[in-house]
Copies of this chain bind each other. A is one copy, B any other.
């Protein structure tokens, strides 16, 4: 029996696939993984603009045309890289949230939100190009974001949502989800424009202070409304 490695393999392997076919498919999956890793390195180094099929093929040692056996197009490759970035971001946020609370509710909940927001800033500072790629990449007109990518995004918002439970317990789940998105968006705006060179990037300690101020104000606004 031919053992197929990796969970995804079994999912995408048609049952009537011949042994020879399986070998081809496995090579395709390995190539796909190599391409995602190479694309991730390129994005981290040069940003989205540095992504070129020819250079990628060279880096993983395949023909340019072979790329399109492993991924549909470069857009799919970018989504795969971005999904990994979302996972890394989620890990950073959850690590930041592990610190012990030092104050009572609602201040403890607000302090957690501030910590998460600052961890988001740190991620953007240390992984600027990969972080930018999350937002700079746009699919061609008329092409929808695949569901698996939407799920990754939802998981990230879900994390903030859970934090809002303490501040907005009386709200419906739908409204909490909306507030989580808004809070994330406000912090994202502060980080994006705070680091923007065209606006003269703010010194990091100043930017941290501003994020703390805005997140605290929003958190208090929520607590007051509650």
**Could you tell me which A residues sit within 8 Å of B by CB distance?**
135-139, 145, 149-150, 153, 178-179, 181-190, 192-194, 196-200, 202, 206, 210, 213-214, 216-218, 220-222, 224
Contact = CB atoms under 8 A, between A and B. Distances in A.
A125 to B, nearest CB: 16
Number of this chain's copies in the assembly equals 2
Nearest to A220: B221
A175 B181 CA distance: 28
Contact of A182 (B181, B198, B214): B214
Given A217-B220, A221-B220, A185 B181 contact: no
B193 A139 contact: no
Residue picked from A190, A206, A216, most chain B C-beta under 10 Å: A190
Contacts of A224: 220
B198 A190 contact: no
Contact of A178 (B185, B187, B206): B206
Contacts of A138: 197-198
A43 to B, nearest CB: 15
Contacts of A213: 179, 182, 221
Given A137-B198, A186-B189, A192-B192, 12 more contacts: A138-B197, A139-B198, A145-B197, A181-B202, A182-B210, A182-B213, A185-B192, A185-B193, A186-B190, A187-B189, A189-B189, A216-B221
Contacts of A217: 217-218, 220-222
A224 B179 CA distance: 22
Residue picked from A149, A150, A199, most chain B C-beta under 10 Å: A199
A138 B197 CA distance: 9
Nearest to A183: B214
A111 to B, nearest CB: 15
Contacts of A197: 138-139, 145
A198 B153 CA distance: 9
20 contacts: A135-B192, A137-B198, A139-B197, A145-B197, A153-B199, A179-B210, A182-B214, A184-B193, A185-B192, A185-B193, A186-B186, A186-B189, A187-B189, A189-B190, A192-B192, A214-B218, A217-B217, A218-B218, A220-B220, A220-B224
